A = this chain, B = another copy of it.
């Protein structure tokens, strides 16, 4: 049984369709787009108490609460969204949507192309963070929102940054957690190897596998394992698994002397890989990691400072000490450019052993910081 106490309760994932074609960054036109979204709390009369949450690489619209009585676990940011929580649903109208290109209700490569009656597969256009934001803007307009706060961790932070620049007239405050304004070469490399594993899977079949008995599970699983190494830090891997073996003989840990699951960390990775293929689409993984690779504010706006001169919001930037995927140095780059651009920015580095995953785990400290930051938003007036 689910525990509805301290929860937004049972929530329904809703759908909104953008009927017209969107012009994508690549130059292609694409549509229609269905958007899966959830909302928590209520929009006020002035329609200016909205917070748009933006999910990370493999997230979805279901940020908080439960979708049914039978749900085994709540949404991905349930600790942060609800009555009295960081994103307080007593005060705010909180919106979360699945990203364009995803596989959890928003149009993506696994969706049916209305022109062919078959899934898009690799005929889906290559998309960018900017394209994802275009879709979110349509949703926010549809919901009648006039002013909003944008907040996200990891890839969600990239989208929040993009929102603050492209829709500076609407965005009052921006919360960027464990994120970056562009991937490093190393970050691109990790994504590229993951994509390579998917593309190399014989069942990938050039992205056309939806009707097949065989799915590119091994490739997708390897991509996820690589991801997980980068989401944890060395320290957290050490404390979770160390060099312990999985098997015991007479109560003593024992190496297998074969190539099966041997160390506990191998068991963890295999489990992460397997549970991922049960919930995520290999094509979506290609498209979304590519969008992340392409995101580069400094390149697009000539400098990060120039990019932020186009914003009109207050910023909160949070990083975690043990995050080596998007380390504190990259958050500081954002902060320094914001300062140079004359923007109001708060920065906090949280001490945590949880690596990049900390933004999903360290909710107590994040709650304090986010609440304090939000208490100054909207002039403290309308909420």
Contact = CB atoms under 8 A, between A and B. Distances in A.
B257 A26 contact: yes
Given A192-B266, A290-B259, A186 B234 contact: yes
Contacts of A286: 259
A146 to B, nearest CB: 34
B192 A269 contact: yes
A270 to B, nearest CB: 8
Size category of the binding interface on chain A: 35 or more
A196 B184 contact: no
Given A237-B185, A257-B126, A269-B189, A263 B225 contact: no
A232 to B, nearest CB: 8
A263 B184 contact: no
A321 to B, nearest CB: 16
B193 A263 contact: no
A136 B126 CA distance: 53
Contacts of A197: 197, 222
Given A238-B184, A243-B185, A259 B195 contact: yes
A200 interface: yes
B196 A263 contact: no
A26 B255 CA distance: 9
Contact of A293 (B199, B263, B273, B296): B263
Interface string A300-319: 00000000000000000000
Given A185-B237, A185-B238, A200-B201, 13 more contacts: A182-B243, A185-B241, A185-B243, A185-B263, A186-B234, A186-B237, A188-B243, A192-B266, A192-B269, A197-B222, A200-B219, A200-B222, A263-B293
Interface in A201-250: 201-202, 218-219, 221-222, 225-226, 229, 232-234, 237-238, 240-243
